[in-house]
Amino acid sequence: MIRLKIPTDWSDITIGQFQEVYAINKLPNSLVLEKDIKIISIVTGVEESIIGNIDITDYSTIMERLSFMLNLPNDKGLKTEFKFDGKKYNLQINVNKLKLSQYIDIEMLSKSQDEIIYNMHKILSVFMSDSKGYDTDEMLKRADVIKQHMTIDMAYPVVVFFYLNYTNLLKGMQDFLMAEANNQIAEIEEIVSKIMNPGGSGISFSKN
């Protein structure tokens, strides 16, 4: 008899597991049973070869219990303090205090929906810098811990909050930088105009 510990909600699914399931779900829809076997294996930690030997009745029961995964968790209840593997992590919820290097990393990690999912642990780690400075190598170390221990019920509200706020703030920065660039272009054009047309008489050329 096969004994499986079946998750019943998102608090049982880590970021790492979610990323694996996301990748499996991108396989062709024609591979329904194969995909389900892989997903059950991921969330239970039991080898696919063993999952493949369960009968159809147990399979139906398992998939019914996993039906919560058809809907994303609630994005409410944002937490700012976490403890993983015996260490506390604080969330920087004021996006205006992010360092430029943090913005750079976030941009690099979130160029598409797929990248946001596959880099979720790294994006969250960017916002959990536990020092006054920010270091990408330290971020990657935190990301490994977050991937293994942070569950989706905790991660999803954080991702939604920061993605919305970061996007709005980034747009504001881009608008500001564009305005500054336009001002500089206008100044350069004025300088060039004076050089090319001194005193309004134009440039004169002489032959040697």
Average pLDDT, the chain: 81
Q: Please say if the pLDDT value at position 125 is more than 90.
A: yes
d(CA 134, CA 45): 35
**Is 55 among the domain residues?**
yes
Query: What is the structure's pLDDT at 174?
Result: 54
Say how many domains are in the chain: 2
Q: What is the mean pLDDT of the segment spanning 86-114? A: 85
**b (16+ CB within 10 A) / e for 22-48:** eebeeeeeeeeeebbbbbbbbbbebee
d(CA 99, CA 112): 22
Q: What is the mean pLDDT of the segment spanning 62-82? A: 88
pTM higher than 0.75: yes
**Is 157 among the domain residues?**
yes
Strand, helix or coil for residue 14: strand
Q: Which residues pair with 90 in a beta bridge?
A: 81
**Is 3 among the domain residues?**
no
Q: What is the mean pLDDT of the segment spanning 81-105? A: 85
The residue count of the chain comes to 208
Fill in the amino acid letter for 134: Y
Q: Please, what is the Cα angle at 35 between 145 and 16, to 5 degrees?
A: 5
Strand, helix or coil for residue 202: coil
Query: What is the structure's pLDDT at 207?
Result: 44
List strand residue ranges (DSSP E) for 55-130, in order.
Answer: 81-84, 87-90
d(CA 185, CA 23): 46
**Is 175 among the domain residues?**
no
Which position has the higher pLDDT, 115 or 132?
Answer: 115
**Is 102 among the domain residues?**
yes
User: Do 87 and 136 belong to one domain?
Assistant: yes
Which position has the higher pLDDT, 194 or 113?
Answer: 113
User: Do 96 and 150 belong to one domain?
Assistant: yes
Q: Please say if the pLDDT value at position 131 is more than 50.
A: yes
d(CA 184, CA 29): 53
**Is 5 among the domain residues?**
no
d(CA 170, CA 11): 31
d(CA 138, CA 112): 24
Q: Please say if the pLDDT value at position 120 is more than 80.
A: yes
User: Do 92 and 37 belong to one domain?
Assistant: no
pLDDT digits (tens, 9 = 90+) for 138-181: 999 999 999 999 999 999 998 888 877 776 666 645 554 555 55
- The torsion angles phi and psi of 151, rounded to 5 degrees, stand at -95, 160
Q: Please say if the pLDDT value at position 100 is more than 80.
A: yes
Query: What is the structure's pLDDT at 204?
Result: 38
Which range of residues forms the domain containing residue 95?
81-168
User: Do 163 and 99 belong to one domain?
Assistant: yes
